[in-house]
Chains A and B, each alone.
Chain A
C-alpha cells in the first residue's frame, strides 16, 4: 500500500522557521494537502494543491514541492502553531487517499 513519510517531530523557537517534509513516490504527479491538528480538535486544512493557502489561513504557512518530497513551511512560528501536522495525497492511480505519518511541531 502507498505510504507518505514524515519526520516524527520538529522543534523550533518562536519567530524562527519550521520545515516539515513529506515523501511519497506519487507526489510528482499527485497534489499534496496539509492538515493541522491541535490536541482534542479536528484537523483543519492549511495548504492545498501543494502550494495554495485556503481562505483564513495565515500567510506564514506555505507549501512547496520537489520531486517525491513536498514541504510545509511555517515562517515566524508562533506558540499557537504548536500542533500535529499531516500531509495527505492520493496514490498514483488516484484511487485512494492516504495520510502521512504525522509530525509534531513543538514551539520551544
Chain B
C-alpha cells in the first residue's frame, strides 16, 4: 500500500522560503512520477510541478522562478522548495505519486501552510 505524508512548517514568514517534504512508503521513488499541488482555502487546485524518476523537472510557468522539486532516494522523500513567499502562497499543499497514463495515482492528505506578514 503506497502512502505519502507531507511534513514541514505550518507557518512561514513572508519573503522567506517554504520547504516541504513528502515521505513515501510502500513504493520506490523510481516507480512513479512525483508532483506537488496546492489549494488555497475555498479555491481550486493548482499544479505546482512534477519531477520524473530521471530527476527531470517541469514547473508551473507562474511559479517557475521560485520553485524547486527534488528527490532523495536514500530517504524515499520528495521535496518542495518555494522561495520569496507571500500571502498568496497560503494553501494546503499536496504531494502525489502517479503514473497517470496507467491510471495510477496516490496522494497525500495535504499540509496547510500559512504565510504570515
Contacts and interface: CB of A to CB of B under 8 A. Distances in A.
- A and B interact: yes
Interface of A: 1, 31, 33, 35, 37, 41-45, 48-49, 52-55, 84, 86, 88, 95-102
A26 B37 CA distance: 21
Given A1-B61, A43-B94, A96 B47 contact: yes
Interface of B: 35, 37, 44-47, 49-50, 58-62, 94, 98, 100-105, 107-110
Contacts of A84: 44
B44 A45 contact: no
Contacts of B58: 95-97
Contact of B100 (A45, A86, A100): A45
Contact of A54 (B37, B61, B104): B104
B52 to A, nearest CB: 12
Contacts of A42: 94, 107-110
A97 B94 contact: no
A55 B102 CA distance: 10
A99 B101 contact: no
B62 A86 contact: no
Interface centre among A33, A42, A43, A102 (most CB of B within 10 A): A42
A52 B79 CA distance: 30
Nearest to B6: A42
Nearest to B95: A42
Given A42-B107, A97-B35, 13 more contacts: A37-B45, A44-B107, A86-B44, A86-B45, A95-B58, A96-B50, A96-B58, A96-B60, A97-B47, A99-B37, A99-B44, A99-B47, A102-B45
A100 B35 CA distance: 17
A96 B59 contact: yes
Contacts of A33: 100
A88 B103 contact: no
Given A1-B61, A1-B62, A43-B94, A99 B45 contact: yes
